[in-house]
Amino acid sequence: MPRLRRIAGLVALAAGPVLVLGVFFVLPVSGMLGLGLWPDGRLDLEPAWEAITRERTARVAWFTLGAAASATVITLLLGIPAAYALYRLAIPGRRMLRAILLVPFVLPTVVVGVAFDSLLAADGPLGFLGWSDGPPAIITAMVFFNLAVVVRTVGSAWESLDPRPGEAAAALGARGWQAFWVATFPALRGSIVSAASVVFLFCATAFGVVLVLGGMRYATLETEIYLLTVNLFDLQAAAALCLLQFVMVLGLLAVAHRARRGAVAVQRVTARPRPVRVSDLPALLTTLLGVVLVAVPVLALVLTSLRDDGTWSLANYRRLGRSGDPDLPVSVTEALANSLRIALDATWMALLVGLLVAIVVTRRSYSPAERRVRGLLDGFFMLPLGISAVTLGFGFLVTLDEPPLDLRDSPLLVPIAQALVALPLVVRILIPVLAGIDDRQRQAAASLGASPLRATLTVDLAVVSKPLLAAAGMVFAVSLGEFGATSFLSRADHPTLPVLIFRLLGTPGEHHYAMAVAASVLLAATTATVMLITERLRVPGVGGF
């Protein structure tokens, strides 16, 4: 009896998330598959194959992989020395420097694109480099964006690394480099591989940055899907590319998973930072380069937003509130209001589903059957990890536009898509927290007379409330900046701020570019505020990867 009741409880808890994922993930993805492989209701691989073997597709695929690989290597080369300097050495102000390096990661992708565009434009501060569009700009922007991932992941591993194996190696006669190689590197390998795989994944699926900087000429798979859909209306080819993308991301995740499994178990201690020596100079210079790389585009963005007709003024910001521009459906401030409303909806949706998923997955299994069911659910809920925001947006676009699920004009379509994009994030924050609760706490509560609901409130809620708030902040920030899925789904008369910024960039007119820059500053400031509040909660794991 109790067994049946428990399995019934599990099913009831899981039903909500399963239904949500079924309708808003499985359906769009299978719709996308159908469009690519079953045009006209029967299996026909010809058009998909034709789209994949196009000369342009091959170029796009190679550019995607090449740009991502170069950006990953450069990010590691910059990030590992910076991680060492900022987490291992007693540099004055290192907390401040760490915070500066983190800034880009919370910037919306469109904002990063605009920042580099304004920096590298022919008449911009770095126009002389001639990088105004094309691979160098795209790769630099990718590095800018992902430096924080490497510094933070490798740095926090390095910070708590037991220094004694290195000291033992030194005592046995190893020089600095040899000691690093034999003692430190093996212990860091796991975190480096993990950071590298995350960076590569982020770069390979970068969308906003590439769309802004690469235009039509330099496309990655993600932007190509968008261009095929929105500009060329070649939905079948877009679906084929989505498939290619899907396979690529799944492959990447599998490789990352395998690579991480080989990590060595490492003794963690709180080591004190070491005074700086002359031999640390290369690391310090690299760190400086990283800080400059991060600070310059942000400063350029702010400065550009304050220039109007060759003078310093706030005119660009004043234009943001003005409606009645014939080229724009709404004013920038209205778009910001849209974004905030949508982010609020996306946040409660992602939290609700994410919390249910985390509870279902972490509860103790009492029988092999129950364990199998839980394992299946676990795998099912992780599926959205394997799909890019663009693919999801595209899937929504092609499936949720006809009865019984005609959500094309529903104000909830965009928040739902954004919530799904943010869902893995929520789940990844909450699962370790819930899994860390000793099940005997709940048993102790139950034996003292607490009903299952009451035991959950007493034990789980007390532990999970802070991480839940932090996750809310993360989802809110992600939703504010989300561009990949939103660019497909945003209604023309209700654009979000990133969508409007992208539109401003593509609209001729003397003040539109400057307005896009000012709007980017506004969006960045809003996102950064949310992230700052989240950071104050100091939840371990948030912001780590």
Partner 1 sequence: MLRIDDVSVRYGAEVALDGVSLEVPDGQVLAVLGPSGCGKSTLLRAVAGLEPLAGGRIFADGVDLRRTPTHRRGFALMFQDGQLFASKSVAGNIGYPLRLRRRAKATVAARVEELLDLVGLGGYGARRPETLSGGERQRVALARALAVEPRLLLLDEPLSALDAALRERLAVDLRRIITASGTTALMVTHDHEEAFALADRMALMRAGRVVQVGEPAQVWAHPVDVETALFLGYDRVVDGAATQVVLQAAGLAGAGAVALRRSALEVSPDGPLEGVVRASRAAPEVVRLVVETPALGEVSAVASTTEVAPGPGQRVRMRVIADRLAVVGDAATAGQVP
Residues within the interface to partner 1 (CB under 8 A): 1-3, 366-368, 438, 440-441, 443-452, 454-455, 458-459, 462-463
Smallest gap from Cβ 451 to partner 1, in A, equals: 5
DSSP string, 8-23: HHHHHHHHHHHHHHII
For the four alpha carbons of 385, 388, 393 and 394, in that order, the dihedral sign comes to negative
User: Rounded to whole angstroms, how far apart are CA atoms 520 and 146?
Assistant: 19
Q: Residue 400: which residues within 8 A CB-CB, separation 6 or more? A: 27, 28, 406, 407, 408, 413
CA angle 418, 142, 472 (to 5 degrees): 30
Q: Which residues contact 62 (CB under 8 A, 6 or more apart)?
A: none
**Tokens 């008369």 label which residue?**
493
> For residues 2 and 403, which CB has a smaller minimum distance to partner 1 in the complex?
2
CB of 466 to partner 1, least distance (A): 11
In the complex, the smallest distance separating the C-beta of residue 434 from partner 1, rounded to whole angstroms, is 15
Look up residue 406 and give its DSSP letter.
E
Q: Return the number of the residue (241 or 433) whose C-beta is nearest partner 1.
A: 433
- Render the burial of 108-133: b for 16+ CB within 10 Å, e for the rest: bbbbbbbbbbbbbbeebbbeeeebbb
Least gap, CB of 267 to partner 1 (angstroms): 24
Cβ proximity of 209 and 109 under 8 Å: yes
Kindly tell me which of 447 and 529 has the beta carbon lying closer to partner 1: 447
Minimal distance, residue 290 CB to partner 1, in Å: 39
Angle between helices 512-536 and 462-481 (to 10 degrees): 170
CA pair distance 27, 31, nearest whole angstrom: 6
- The residue (of 410 and 451) whose beta carbon lies closer to partner 1 is 451
| Residue closer to partner 1, measured from CB, 232 or 369 | 369
21/459 with CB nearer partner 1:
459
Q: How far is the CB of 543 from partner 1 (least distance, A)?
A: 24
Closer to partner 1 by Cβ: residue 174 or 463: 463
Question: Cβ closer to partner 1: 178 or 367?
Answer: 367
Q: Which residues contact 472 (CB under 8 A, 6 or more apart)?
A: 347, 351
Query: Which residue lies nearer to partner 1 by CB, 9 or 22?
Result: 9
Quote the strand ranges of 293-382, DSSP E: 307-308, 311-312
Minimum CB–partner distance for residue 313 and partner 1 (Å): 53
Q: Return the SS3 of 232.
A: coil
With a CB cutoff of 8 Å and minimum separation 6, the contacts of 316 are 305, 306, 307, 308, 511, 514, 515, 517, 518
Shortest spacing between CB 433 and partner 1, in angstroms: 13
CB of 460 to partner 1, least distance (A): 10
Task: Please report how close the Cβ of residue 516 comes to partner 1 at its closest, in angstroms.
Answer: 47
Q: Which is nearer to partner 1, 349 or 539 (CB)?
A: 539
Query: Angle at the Cα of 239 (from 236 to 243), degrees rounded to 5?
Result: 140
Nearer to partner 1, 266 or 444 (CB): 444
Q: How far is the CB of 437 from partner 1 (least distance, A)?
A: 10
**Amino acid identity, residue 524?**
A
* DSSP for 125-152, written as a single string: TTGGG--SSSHHHHHHHHHHHHHHHHHH
Task: Measure the CA–CA gap between 518 and 521, rounded to whole angstroms.
Answer: 5
DSSP string, 185-222: HHHHHHHHHHHHHHHHHHHHT--HHHHHHHTTTS--HH
